[in-house]
Amino acid sequence: MNRLKTNRWDFGYTLETMNREARKRNAPVFRFEDAGKASPFRILVSTMLSARTKDETTIQIVKELFRTVGSPRDVLRLNEKQIEKILYGIGFYRLKAKYLKQMAEKLINEFNGKVPDTIDALLSLPGVGRKTANIVLARAFGKNTIGVDVHVHRIANRLGLVKTKRPEDTEQKLVKIVQQRFKRNFNRTFVAYGQTICIPRKPKCDECKIRKICKYGQTMINQYH
């Protein structure tokens, strides 16, 4: 049986294997989730700030931020320069400081200070794109969504689950083929694996426990045999 035919693909076994191997290697995403745990607001902020920044960097900075900020109203007590100083080191920290301020204002003025739990409402917030919105829905509200970042996009294409060029297209494909019960943790598992084994350059195919069902892995194996 060809396990790359997505209607027969064993997502349960594959995701469990990926998660186990990434935890053995202490993937940064697990520590990142701990740093942003608890309230939907913290999850939203930490996910938004993580864009284009290494999780190791984001972890330290969000911990510092959350010592001062625990709600949208706390954000409004700070001016942009103060926020920038805290966020320094994060990619595009000035822009994200601006977004964070605007986001807090919108949450208070339009959502009674609470993080909304729908995709359209989340996308209306400054600095929030589809990846962030879907991750918040999954992690903060337990909804079956898939946030597609560079790791998910890369690994899904390497495995042969999809053949796409844009993360938006990858999301559309994955939501159709991934069973509901696996969607919520899909992003976290793929990110963890992408941080530790299926890295962007020179992936560790020799250490990969799922290489036999990986299109890219099989290609690499055949090159050396």
Contact 202, 158 (CB under 8 A): no
Which residue among the candidates 131, 183, 202, 204 is catalytic per the annotation?
131
Determine how many CB atoms are found less than 10 A away from the CB of residue 9. 19
Active-site residue flag, 149: yes
Q: Which amino acid is at 20?
A: R
Which residue among the candidates 55, 96, 101, 149 is catalytic per the annotation?
149
In the structure encoding, which two tokens stand for residue 115, read together?
A: 């993080």
For residues 31-57, b (16+ Cβ closer than 10 Å) or e, as one string? ebbebbeeebbbbbbbbbbbbebebee
Provide the phi-psi class of 213: left if phi over 0, else alpha when psi is between -120 and 50, else beta.
alpha
CA distance 100 to 97: 5
User: In 3-state terms, what secondary structure has residue 78?
Assistant: coil
- Supply φ then ψ for residue 2, to 5 degrees: -80, 105
Question: How far lies 72's CA from each of 33, 108, 160, in Å?
Answer: 20, 7, 42
Active-site residue flag, 74: no
Catalytic residue list: 131, 149
